[in-house]
Structure 1
């Protein structure tokens, strides 16, 4: 199963990501001002968005095709997407996913920019939600 390619989509290909989300009945959407990352063979099997925010990036829209789960694809996609970033990456997730993200280097309850903290507060009113953060590795 090593025939997967992990890459950032070019600006003109963002509709392919929305097609992937729709095919899996997801309400997620590709965001045009974000870096759009995918894992693909012939078709996309996983996707995520890295949206620029004050002081870093916000990881959203991580989805793996259910037929391709439990193969490490999400971990590899996250690693590819964040490997060259020099700023923190934050995400919001269900508390049950905390361990998954901690195994990928994210920490629970990071300091968030004000706008992100406000957004988390709004989201957490209607569903269980926690913040996770990944700080960039120091450059040698």
Structure 2
């Protein structure tokens, strides 16, 4: 008996042709799949970059409390003492109402304040960074204002 292999192998040939990528219905070669680029910062290649800081209405709880210079006494009369609440900051001779909080990470924030003290008003921004497991808070200038960053300890 003379059998032809063609009918038995036809499904296998069609399956292989479908998987090869070969050409489209018009006989044109199909374009190769292009990998999506990845940006150096880990972004997906769309140019958007990493997410920016989160804007909050209040100062995060980890930053709140009474703080004083690392060598200070935590006494209310200490001129480097600051009391940080959810929406206010009380300094030695001035008071600030929070107008904005940017949370860069759980340990970095930038607080914008509407300040008032000694008969004057002004706007101010400060960067605050927590270190030592939340026991040290360092204040640094934002913008054109210049001063040496100051480490503060948490008062009991």
State the TM-score, normalizing by the size of structure 1: 0.28
Between Structure 1 and Structure 2, the one with more strand by share is: 2
State the TM-score, normalizing by the size of structure 2: 0.26
Higher relative contact order (CA 8 A, sep 6+): 1
Between Structure 1 and Structure 2, the one with more helix by share is: 1
